[in-house]
Amino acid sequence: EMAQSVRIIRQALDQLPDGPVMAAKVKNLKLPDDEVYIETENPRGQLGFYVRGDGSTIPYRVKARGPSFSNLCIITHICRDILLADMPAIIASIDIVMGEVDR
């Protein structure tokens, strides 16, 4: 698999055009005075990003919403009327990442 990955990377590098990199243009990118929420699927649920622009080159507000926070909030509902011995298995099946929950 490693050798195949190296071949794929080499093919991609061979197809890159010569010339300046576009990263220099990104420095002058101005965000519109607007907001957007983008979401995508994640192995643990829905991952979302909120970005609010104010017309400058720096976002006014950026928030990330990971699925582990929502999954942690529903534990009280899931674990209602169950045996205490079943709680570790239920919590482990949700696969919460505490680093993602910490805001």
| pTM over 0.75, yes/no | no
pLDDT score, position 19: 82
Per-residue pLDDT tens over the stretch 26-75: 677 788 999 999 999 988 889 999 999 999 888 999 999 889 888 888 88
Element (H, E) at 12: helix 2-15
pLDDT score, position 24: 65
Instruction: Parse the chain into domains and list their residue ranges.
Output: 2-101
